[in-house]
Amino acid sequence: MDVIELRGLRVLGTHGVLAEEQVRAQPFEVDLDVEADLAAAAASDDLSDTLDYGQVAALVAEVVGGPHFQLLEALAVRIAETVLARPGVRSVTVTVRKLRPPVPVDLASAGVRVSRSRRLG
């Protein structure tokens, strides 16, 4: 299957369990692997025959910048469901990283990765 990759989308959001995380925006980074059939786009060289990754990135940014989630797992699944709802998307793998997690050690990021596929039938 063909894959469209989006790497390093950075968006501010208010996700986390701690009270401070729920009111003060912090940086999140998202990577996506979107499986879709890209044969028509490759043949036509026309944007209308493919998944517009600019639109996908904007949708993901809306989710991350939108309503609060306590867990990265819930945020990642919401992103996956949003992308999977786009026409032509067969499956998606989403990685979400909190770039400055509030832990008492020097940790660059904490994250989760989820994969979802369109149900057949």
Q: Which residues contact 41 (CB under 8 A, 6 or more apart)?
A: 47, 49, 50
Joined together, the tokens standing for residue 67 give 């309503």
Which residue among the candidates 28, 56, 98, 114 is catalytic per the annotation?
98
Coil, strand or helix at 91: strand
Strand partners, 113: 95
Per-residue DSSP letters for 11-43? EEE--SSSGGGGTS-EEEEEEEEEEE--HHHHH
Residue 98 among the catalytic residues: yes
Q: State the Cα–Cα distance between residues 36 and 33, nearest whole angstrom.
A: 10
Q: Catalytic site residues?
A: 98
